[in-house]
Amino acid sequence: MSDQSDKELLDALGVETKGKKKSALSAREERIIAGFEDIQRFVDENNCLPQPGEDNDIFERLYAIRLQQIQKLPESKELLSALDHQGILGDFSSEGNAEQELDDEELLAQLGADQKCDLTNLKHVRPRAEITAAEEIASRIPCENFDEFKTLFGTINFELKSGALETKRFEEKADIRKGDMFILSGQIAFVDQVGEEFITEYERKNSRLRVIYDNGTESDILLRSLQVALNKDPSGRRIISKDHGPLFSDETYEDDYHSGIIYVLRSKSELPEIKQHQKLLHKIGVTRDSVEKRIANAKNESTYLMADVEIVASRQLYNINSTKLEALIHKFFDSARLDVAITGVDGKPVSPREWFLVPLFVIEDFFDKLQDGSIQKYVYDTESASLVKTNR
């Protein structure tokens, strides 16, 4: 039996060997399919159909109009049904001009965009929501009762520097509530009031806000406008608290993290320039180890004035950057910093920088005001050796 060729075998089995001629698509049909595939990608990425609202991105609005047009075209059902695995098309409508098909330029014109823009290069196209947000942000007025917020902004600044507060990028369309804090255009913004919620013509929730800024101004801005402004600002941030519990506490919670121990020491040095201030002179420091372990070799370390020390106060720290806090405390008492040179372990003169001529009760008062957030209203007065309230 002679070998049969592949073609002969297929013929014997009754298999058609002639390739089927592909049906050619018209340019119009190719445009419809390409436009529909763009809409499908949008649905895949966003898990929703495109909507025409002014708050939305220019692409979403364009796809929404395109989808409406596709649904009105008589050939769409036959052309696209097999491709519509997401059920995007829904019921086909015969209303309107079935023969009207808008190209990309006409769609952009409907949206108020420059017709010279390419769909892949829409950097000059601004959604109405973005324009509205810019207008509302720009229309700030002086805040007449700003004195009531000065302490708040001072505390926010202090806690940002100390690490008790941190910032994160504002998430698109994230919630905004009364008491929320943000950084917008380089300024701290505080949401003082949230008005009654209403529904826009595009079935979206919105509210009117009163937002106070740390430069002494305020704005009566829509919640969605603030969202848009924060999203568009490259430096737009939400200010959040690391603090799951108090700064100093004898009780801890499951989600607290231990930052260290802040301690106050008194020197036992016999040097005349130290001993004469023994009751007034204190070292304020922070350690992650036990204080006892930290000072075990005090008499051989210049930072402890080459002498033994006594622990006169200590507090556990939680949920804060202890290094930054220590630096801020030293800055606060800088005017009372001890200026003295002692002989170090190598025989060379050393000037320790963590000793301050501040009474212990003042340091305790400082800790209390630090905890309740009021410390920004005070300075240390060396003449009276006390914390003095300021007008800032």
Q: Can you give 243-275 as a three-state secondary structure string?
A: CCCCCECCCCCCCCCEEEEEEEEEECCCCHHHH
At 98 the pLDDT is: 41
Exposed/middle/buried for residue 377 (C-beta within 10 Å: 0-12, 13-18, 19+): middle
Single-letter amino acid code for the residue at 147: D
Give pLDDT, residue 39.
Answer: 86
Q: What does the alpha-carbon distance between residue 277 and residue 247 come to, in Å, rounded to a whole number?
A: 30
| Beta bridge mates, 89 | none
Locate 113 and state its tokens: 């965009």
Chain-centroid distance, C-alpha 76: 44
Any residues with CB less than 8 A from the CB of 111 and at least 6 apart, and which? 58, 61, 62, 65, 125
Specify the pLDDT at position 168: 87
Q: Output phi, psi for 178, to 5 deg.
A: -60, 135
Q: pLDDT means per 10 residues in the chain (392 residues)?
A: 56 53 68 84 82 71 82 80 83 46 49 44 46 55 88 83 82 78 90 86 79 91 86 86 49 56 94 92 90 92 93 83 80 91 87 92 89 79 88 54
- Residue 331: CB partners within 8 Å, gap ≥ 6? none
- Residue-level pLDDT at 9: 57
- Residue 14 CA to chain centroid, in angstroms? 68
Which residues, in sequence order, are CB contacts of 353 under 8 Å at separation 6+?
A: 330, 337
**Are the CB atoms for 366 and 387 separated by under 8 Å?**
yes
Distances (CA, A) of 332 to 265, 326, 337, 356, 365: 18, 10, 10, 11, 13
CA distance 158 to 149: 14
| pLDDT reported for residue 131 | 47
Chain position carrying tokens 């979403």:
60
Q: What is residue 33's predicted lDDT score, i.e. its pLDDT?
A: 84
Residue reference for tokens 């992650």 = 288
User: Quick one: 217 exposed, middle or buried, by C-beta within 10 A (0-12, 13-18, 19+)?
Assistant: middle
Contact 80, 33 (CB under 8 A): yes
- The gap from C-alpha 118 to its chain's centroid, in whole angstroms, comes to 33
What whole-number distance in Å separates Cα of residue 229 and Cα of residue 137? 8
Helices 223-232 and 128-138 sit at what angle, rounded to 10 degrees?
100
